[in-house]
Structure 1
Amino acid sequence: MNKSLTKLALGAALLTSSSAALAADYVIDTKGAHAFVNFKIQHLGYSWLYGRFNTFSGDFSYDADKPNESKINVVIDTSSIDSNHAERDKHLRGDDFLNVGEHPKATFKSTDISFSDDTNGKVTGEFTLNGVTKTISFDIEKIGEGDDPWGGYRVGFLGHTQLALKDYNIDYNLGPASTHVDIELSIEGVRK
């Protein structure tokens, strides 16, 4: 009797752990352009300048039954910055801003994710930009999850944060209204 119970328990544990792993691992859908890293910063205090990073990749784990065990990793190609103006983008890639020659990647790796309900949460992690790593936290919202028309399963989130440029050794004077940049992450993942 004990052997049968042990085998049954072991089998259930293996089945549960393998199902959970499959259900929780996602790749960020950049191939289908269903994910975005956007930014905005004030221009001299007179208007907003908008842009994005065109090339990035990442993955995350998420299980609706255990959302606080989620994790996310993102790698951004900083040379892919796109503000819809070639000369400005060249300047942004240079030493005054992103210094992509020395630091071609920005990375984010979560250390904690806490959901207050089914939709809203906070992500904390290590963000590296321009060779500087800082711990940042930002709010996220789960947009939705479910089957897609191609036989896959997807889940999507939206996050916002604000970064002080000086925290990442970017001290180019854009005026007192332009010391921070707002970042928006729109992330849709496809279950692996």
Structure 2
Amino acid sequence: MNALLKAAVLSAATLSAGLSATSATAADYTIDTKGAHAFVQFKIKHLGYSWLLGRFNNFEGNFSYDAAKPETSEIEVIIDTTSIDSNHAERDKHLKGKDFLNVAKYPKASFKSTRYIPADGTSGTMEGIFTLHGVTKEIAFPVTKIGEGKDPWGGYRVGFEGKTVLKLSDYGIVYDLGPASADVEIELFVEGIRQ
């Protein structure tokens, strides 16, 4: 739910990191949300008996990376928390309310990277500032580059994935769903179009 993020959003955020590429110079990318080639998804246990899955339908962002200097990679993502979608209208209404995201007061979540730490040519750790439900915290999560190359329309794309776990109470979301539901998993799948 508040999985937003993660993110999130953020970030995805994730995307900026992957960093082995055929291009040897820094490039700027726009996250391809228009073509629906990027996703911010969440997963949280329901009472400890099963999983509740969902996503944020609307978000936007940009990133840059240099394959020769992956440590200079950067990303920024903004998530529209009002776009939360758990495939159940009444539940979504509850998630948008004061018990959870309180979207009337906090309609956006955001992630802005502060550092990328490469592990190898395709993976590493993205660190940054994540804001959700009016609370800002430093987070870090692993990211992996999925692939890159020319697309059929004359452009150039690169994609990343990342996953992190957030404790809801860290962001002021304290509605009691039981101990099994204290944390939410956020997954980011991001495809960027080179500008």
TM-score higher than 0.5 here? Answer: yes
Deviation digits for residues 5-34 of structure 1, max 9, x if unmatched? xxxxxxxxxxxxxx94xx510000000000
- CA-CA distance at 1:67 after TM superposition: 1.1
Partner of residue 112, structure 2: 109
State the partner residue of 1:11: none
Deviates more, 1:62-71 or 1:130-139: 62-71
Counterpart for residue 158 of structure 1:
161
Output the TM-score relative to the length of structure 1.
Answer: 0.88
Could you tell me which residue of structure 1 aligns to residue 29 of structure 2? Answer: 26
Which position in structure 1 is the counterpart of 2:176? 173
SS at match of 1:166: helix
**Letter of the 1:158 counterpart:** E
2:126 to 123, 129, 136: 123
Q: Which residue is 1:55 aligned to?
A: 58
Take 1:66 and 1:145, find their aligned partners in 2: how far apart are those partners? 17
Q: Deviations along 1:136-181, whole A, 9 cap, x unmatched?
A: 0000000011111110000100000000000000000101100000
Q: Among residues 76, 79, 89, which one is paired with 1:76 in the alignment?
A: 79
- State percent identity of aligned pairs: 68
Gaps of 5+ in 2: 1-23
SS of 1:177's partner is helix
Q: Which has the larger radius of gyration?
A: 1
Matched, 1:98 2:106: no
Instruction: Tell me how far 1:73 sits from its aligned partner.
Output: 0.2
- Indicate which of 138, 147, 151 corresponds to 2:150: 147
Residue in 2 aligned with 1:9? none
Q: Which residue of 2 aligns with 1:65?
A: 68
Q: Is 1:43 aligned to residue 46 of structure 2? A: yes
Size of the aligned set, in residue pairs, is 172
Query: How far does the alpha carbon of each residue in 1:106-163 deviate from its partner, in whole angstroms, 9 at most, with x for none?
Result: 0000000111111111000000000000000000000011111110000100000000
Matched residue SS, 2:138: strand
Q: Deviations over 1:14-55 (max 9, x none)?
A: xxxxx94xx510000000000000000000000000000000
> 2: CA distance between counterparts of 1:187 and 1:114?
18
1:86 aligns with 2:89: yes
- Counterpart CA distance in 2 for 1:25 and 1:182 is 28
Q: CA deviation at 1:75?
A: 0.1
- Structure 2 counterpart of 1:46, one-letter code: Y
Q: Distance in 2 between matches of 1:115 and 1:154?
A: 20
Could you say which structure has the higher helix fraction? 1
